[in-house]
Chain A
Amino acid sequence: MCDSCDCSQTGNSVTIKRPGQAVSGSGSAGHHHHPHQGSPRRERIVEVREAVLGKNDGIAAHNRVFFNKQRIVALNLVSSPGSGKTTILEKTIRELRDEIPMAVIEGDQQTMLDAERIDATGVPVVQVNTGAGCHLDADMVHQALHQMELVENSLLFIENVGNLVCPAMFDLGEAAKVVIISVTEGEDKPLKYPAMFDAADICLINKTDLLPHLDFDVSRCREYAMRVNHHLEFFEISARTGEGMGAWLEWLRGQRVQG
């Protein structure tokens, strides 16, 4: 993916695989702590003043430079488990695959199940299994990028681990975060999990075909989300029936033109 990158990040139990691939591609160079040979004396305060996630942010910036150079629009899809992220991706890919080159990085704690679903649509996909980890980080994406051959001027969807809390903190180098809420969840999710809605740029409200059977109030949900983040742009969709998908697909086409 790049010629001058630092690939020696810790990998703990993370595995990165393409569907059908047996061997893990995780670069898990450990950390070295050599006892220093100096002559120790007393207590000393060392100034640091660095962000805790500075290392992640550095790798994210590296990913972003790569995306910009290749004119790849990377979107980080975040939501609770079960909001329909993978179904949205399947539908989106089937609608756009004849006009736009696309690729997917799938993040889950375990299994290749989502990667296999995406693989069936015919676009390149890599699965990142985080083990116990509750989010993707920039290095996992970086390692996944090394396993893929991305096309210039394309779309890259990064489906984060289903979790409405932790992925908010970790920049992956994406152009935008897309938060997905389904109408089977409470409309007060944006108030309960504000960090994710605060970090997002786009909000997809999914499973709208079920609205007649539920008490979910879409306008209240939008209002709550806007309280947290007044920049949010909304699309109300049903990935199952295709209702409302047109505007979302149009937005994606627009991103690529600008990218």
Chain B
Amino acid sequence: MPACSVLEQVRAIVYHECMHEMSLAVNIVELVSEKAQGAGGKKITSVELEAGKLSGVMIEALVFCFDAASRNTPAEGARLEVREVDGLGNCLGCAHSFALDSLLGQCPQCGGYGVETVQGKELKVVSFTIDEE
């Protein structure tokens, strides 16, 4: 079986299993590939990602998808390094600020659910490394 059709199959499976992580991985690969081209680099060796704990992303799935999505691109074989960012909430009832580990955050001080998420939903590419050898 030709390699490309194997890849297509893997992609189909991955797409189904990992859901939006595959789209996110494709977006990451496109973003860094474009930037690498602009920066004159041929090969990307690693990508640094910041992922909020409330961003709804399964990091293991994302890393798995990244490997598939980066085939035949300048990011092929690159390491995806994910730095998790803690969730932070502000209670709208009593203004208490506290660590949030889910979107169902309850204020530990007053018990209210009216909580504004101020940190933890971000998902961004911080940097990448290019090998200029």
Contact = CB atoms under 8 A, between A and B. Distances in A.
A41 B41 CA distance: 9
Contacts of B103: 194-195, 198, 228
Nearest to A54: B31
Contacts of A110: none
Interface in A154-189: 163, 165-166, 168-170
Contact of A49 (B37, B124, B129): B124
A31 B11 CA distance: 17
Contacts of B39: 44, 46
A33 B73 CA distance: 7
A186 to B, nearest CB: 15
A36 B40 contact: yes
A55 B31 contact: yes
Interface size class of A (residues with CB under 8 A): 35 or more
Given A52-B125, A53-B24, A166-B19, A36 B37 contact: yes
B27 A50 contact: no
A211 interface: no
A38 to B, nearest CB: 4
Contact of B128 (A45, A51, A53, A191): A45
Contact of B104 (A31, A42, A194): A194
Interface of A: 10, 31, 33-36, 38, 40-56, 132-135, 137, 163, 165-166, 168-170, 191, 194-195, 198, 226-228, 230
B83 to A, nearest CB: 13
Contacts of A56: 27
Contacts of B32: 48
A58 B100 CA distance: 29
B45 interface: yes
B119 interface: no
Given A134-B20, A170-B20, 20 more contacts: A42-B132, A45-B128, A46-B36, A46-B127, A46-B130, A47-B126, A48-B35, A48-B126, A49-B125, A51-B123, A51-B125, A52-B24, A53-B123, A132-B15, A133-B23, A135-B20, A163-B19, A169-B56, A194-B102, A227-B106
